[in-house]
Amino acid sequence: MVEERYVDSRLSFALLATNIAKRIESRPKANDQIKVAAGRILNVLNADARVTVVSPREGLNDEVAYRIEQKQVDYVDRKFEPSDLDGVDMVLTAVDDPVASTEIYKLCKERRIAANIADVPPECDFYFGSVHRDGPLQVMVSTNGNGPKLANIIRRQIASGLPDNAGAAIQKVGLLRRKLRKVASTPEEGPKRMQWFVQP
């Protein structure tokens, strides 16, 4: 008899955030960093990822604490340990210690885990862009870590030029597309579908 088991195919992210509270007290810019870290949690949750936050409780901001309280993310109440990388697909950090950040990056490289070390573009295997979402519409602007605030400004400028109902319009286009696929379902009929789609 074959046993069926559910396999969770979602990517696993670890957000490593150590002693962030101290960082906020000592540097006003760090508050922005924590907002960015909290935003990254939302980005990966929106991508249906499993997220584990590793941080002493006193290092959490309200947004991250809320996600933990709502059981939207897993939580480990302590500083980072190398075993936190076990079974993880990607790592995001917001660590107040540059030496520790670099060590985490090196451990990720050894294990072939993609990492994004906050505020250290050379130690980033991927970047987060500034994203505008309106239903199914997503517009992302990235500067590859060179100017996140500038990406945000550009994204807001692009979003301000979009019609208010763009997301709803795209949903209707998707519905029409699905209906057309039922009428003309073969790949050969693709051009025909496209013709119907653009006719006035």
Tokens of 38: 């909290």
Active site residue 86: no
The letter for the amino acid at 163 is P
The separation between CA 122 and the C-alpha centre of its own chain, rounded to angstroms, equals 19
- Residue 13 per-residue DSSP state: E
The answer to whether 40 touches 128, Cβ cutoff 8 Å, is: yes
Catalytic residue among 119, 125, 134, 164: 119
| CA–CA separation, 198 and 41 (whole Å) | 39
3-state secondary structure of 54: strand
Task: Cite the beta strand spans of 80-196 per DSSP E.
Answer: 90-93, 114-117, 130-134, 137-141
Rounded Cα gap, residues 188 and 155, in angstroms: 38
Q: Which residues are catalytic?
A: 119
